[in-house]
Structure 1
Amino acid sequence: MACDINDCAVFVYALFGISAGNHRLWSHNAFKAKLPLQIILIIASSLTFQYSVLNWVRDHRLHHRYTDTDPHNAARGVFFSHIGWLLVKKHPEVKRREKFTDLRDVKANPVLRFQKKWAVPFIGSICFIIPTLIPVYFWNESLNVAWHLSFLRYVASLHQTFLVNSYAHFVGTRPYDKRILPTNNRSINVVVLGEGFHNFHHAFPWDYRSAELGTLFFNPTTWFIELFAKIGWAYDLKTASKAVIEGRAQRTGDGTRVQNKSVS
C-alpha cells in the first residue's frame, strides 16, 4: 500500500517536470527559475524518461513553429499524433527543419547540458532504479512489485503527455484560433494538470498559465509555478493581456469564448 501511495506521488511530481519544466519553462521561457527549482524540475522531468530536455524542447519548438505539420502531425490522425510518430522514422523534412530550430538558450543552460551529457545513466537511474530500490529498502516491498509499479508509472506518464499531442488536437473548441487543430478541452485538462486549454496555449505560448482562466479553473501546474514564485524561485512570470486575448478571440476564434470563459 505504501508503495502504491508513494508511486502516485512520484507520478504527479514527474508530470510537473514535463508541464512546468520541459514545457512552460524551458520550451517557452514563460517564466524564469532559479537553480534550486531547475534542479527540482530536471529530476522530475527525468522521472518520465522522455529522453533529454534538449531533445524535448527541440521537438516542441518545432511543433509550435509548424503547427499541424510538425513531428507528431495531428493532421495524420489520432494514433499517429499520440504514439505513431515514435514508431516510424522521422520524415526527412522534419529532420531538415530541426536544424533551423533555435536552441541557443537551452544549450547554454548548465543543468540541461548535464542531463544531456549523462542522459542514459542519469535519466535511467532517476526513472527506474531509484524509484524501484527505495520502496524495497525502506518498507520491504518486493522487488517484483516495486519494479512493475515504477514501469507502470513511466508508461502512464508517457501517455499523459501524448494525450496533449493527440486528444487535445481533435476534441474540444477553438475559442482563440479556429484555423489550427489544437483545442480547449476541460475534461482532458484534469488529466494533464492544466495543459488542456491547448488552443489558448498555441495562440499565446509565452503565457505561464497556459490558460486564460489561469488559477480560476483546475490548473495545478500554474499553482505549482505560483507557489515557487512566492518564495522567489520562479520569477518574471509572463502573461498575455486581457486586451490581446480578447482581440485574438474576436479575429480568429470560433465564437465559443464567452465572458472570459472558453466553453468546452
Structure 2
Amino acid sequence: MVSVPNGSALQNLKRVPGEPGEDHKYEAAEVPDANGKDKCTQNIVWRNVVWMSLLHAGAVYSLFLIPKAHPFTWIWSYVCFLVTALGVTAGVHRLWSHRAYKAKLPLRIFLAAANSMAFQNDIYEWSRDHRVHHKYSETDADPHNAKRGFFFAHVGWLFMRKHHDVIEKGKRLDFSDLLADPVVVFQRKYYKISVVLMCFIIPTLVPWYFWGETLWNSYFLSSILRYTVSLNVAWLVNSAAHMYGNRPYDRTISPRENRFVAFGAIGEGFHNFHHTFPFDYSTSEFGLRLNPTTCFIDLMCWLGLASGCKKTSPEMIQARKLRTGDSSA
C-alpha cells in the first residue's frame, strides 16, 4: 500500500538538481568496494530517528489525556483518522499510484487535502515510491523490502538512506501521468503549508472552537495521537501484511491476506490479492468485506464523482487460485 505506504515525509536525503519530475534522484553515501566499484552505504538518518522517537513519546503521553478530554474530541479524532486513511487508501494508493479508478476534480481535491492530513509525503513522491515497491517487490530496489525484517519494513527504512537500487531502478519508471494532474502539482508545490494546516492546525482548532476543548488536549489527541496511529496502521501494510497470513492467490510471493491489517487500514490488508491483481480498485476479492475504502469509492461513483473502477473478473480470480494459490481459500 501502500504508497504508503505506505511512504513518509521524513527523508533526510539531498536532492540532485534535475528536470521537473525527476526529483526521485537522490544522493547516496558511496564507498569503493573490494573491486574499486561504488556501492551504497545505508547510513542512519538520525534526524528521522529523533523525530519518530519524539512523535511516539508524544503519542504515549496522549493516552493519559484521553480520560480528561471531551467525548466529542474522541469522536473528532477518529473522524480525522478516517479522513487521513482515505487520503492514503482511496487517494494516493488506489487512485494515483494504481489508476484503479477515475475521480473528478472535487474528489481529487478532497483526497489531496486528506493526503496532506496523512503527512506521508506528497502525492507524487508517495506514488513514485509505491510503484517502485510493486515493480521490484522485496528486492534491494524495494524501498521497504520486507526480506530485511519486520522492523525495517515497518519503520526502519525511514531511518536509513535509500538503497542504491531503489534510486537507480526507480529512474526507469514513468511518472509523467502524475505531473499531468494539476491537483498533484498544486499539492506538491504547497505541501508543507498544506501539512501544517491539515495535519495539525485544523484537527487542533475544531475541538477548541466548537465545544471548548483545551488546545493542549486537542493538539495531542487529534493531531499527535491520531497521526502516530495512522502512520503505524499504514506501516503494518508494509510489514505485517508481507509476513503474516495466507496466500490464496499466489503462494510464490510474500504479501499475505491479513484481516487484522485490513480492519485497521480500512481495507488495505488483503495484500496477496493486491499484489496479484494490483489494478483492482477494491484491492480485495470480496468487495465490501472489511473494506470501507471500497464503500467510499462506490459511494463516490453513485454521486457521480468517480467512475471507471477496474475490477478483476471472478473467472480470472478462480483460475489464478487454482494455478498459484496455496489452497487456503
Relative to the length of structure 1, the TM-score reads 0.94
Does 2:171 correspond to 1:99? yes
CA distance in 1: counterparts of 2:260 and 2:218, whole angstroms: 31
Displacement of 1:228 in angstroms is 0.6
Q: For the aligned residues, what is the CA RMSD?
A: 1.0
Q: Percent identity?
A: 49
1:204 equivalent to 2:277? Answer yes
How far 1:253 sits from its partner (Å)?
Answer: 1.2
The 5-angstrom pairing of residues 149-164 of structure 1 reads 149=221, 150-164=223-237
Structure 1 residue 7 and structure 2 residue 80: aligned? no
Matches within 5 A, 1:27-66: 27-66=97-136
Structure 1: which 4+ aligned runs deviate by more than 4 Å? none
Q: Name the CA distance, whole Å, in 2 between partners of 1:166 and 1:101.
A: 24
Q: Deviations over 1:10-42 (max 9, x none)?
A: 111110111110111111011000011111111
* Contact in 2 for aligned 1:50/1:56 (Cα 8 Å): yes
Summarize deviations over 1:38-77 as a string: whole Å, max 9, x none. Answer: 1111111111111201000001000100111210000001
Give matches, 1:213-224, under 5 Å: 213-215=286-288, 217-224=289-296
- Asked whether the equivalents of residues 113 and 194 of structure 2 are also in contact (C-alpha less than 8 Å), the reply is no
| Counterpart Cα distance in 2 of 1:119 and 1:54 | 11
Q: Give 1 or 2 for the bigger CA radius of gyration.
A: 2
* Paired residues, number: 256
1:1-264 aligned at under 5 Å gives the runs 1=70, 2-69=72-139, 70-149=142-221, 150-215=223-288, 217-257=289-329
What residue identity is the alignment partner of 1:29?
Answer: R
Which residue number in structure 2 is paired with residue 260 of structure 1?
Answer: none
1:139, CA displacement in angstroms?
2.1
* Aligned partners of 1:161 and 1:192 also within 8 Å: yes
Q: Secondary structure at the match of 2:118?
A: coil
More helix by share: 1
Tell whether the 8 Å contact from 1:51 to 1:123 is kept in structure 2 after alignment.
no
Q: Tell me which moved more, 157-166 or 1-10.
A: 1-10
The unaligned stretches of length 5 or more in structure 1 are 258-264
Report if aligned partners of 1:115, 1:123 keep a CA contact under 8 Å in 2.
no
Unaligned stretches of 5+ in structure 2?
A: 1-69
Is the contact between residue 233 and residue 261 of structure 2 (CA under 8 Å) also seen in structure 1?
no
